[in-house]
Amino acid sequence: TLFSRRDSRNILGVTSGSLDDPSLFKPDMHFWTASKQPWLMLDDGLPQYEGAPPA
């Protein structure tokens, strides 16, 4: 899937590998962190959600 949209919020998820230049876009949250690899450290100060972000 190249993108996903949530009806309850103005959120559009885009697969970064599908972009010509993903550096043009910055994340504003991390979600599904419960399944991240143990070595991945998310210490950028962005909100983190173990599952889907709240509606």
pTM of the model: 0.66
Residue linked to tokens 């949530």: 6
CB 49 within 8 A of CB 29: yes
Phi/psi of residue 52, nearest 5 degrees: -70, 150
Measured CA to CA, the distance from residue 23 to residue 25 in angstroms comes to: 5
Which among 3, 1, 13 has a CA at the least distance from the CA of 49? 13
Q: Is the dihedral of CA 7, 53, 32, 26 positive or negative?
A: positive
Q: pLDDT per residue over 4-54, tens digit each?
A: 666 666 777 777 778 888 888 888 899 999 999 999 999 999 999 999 888
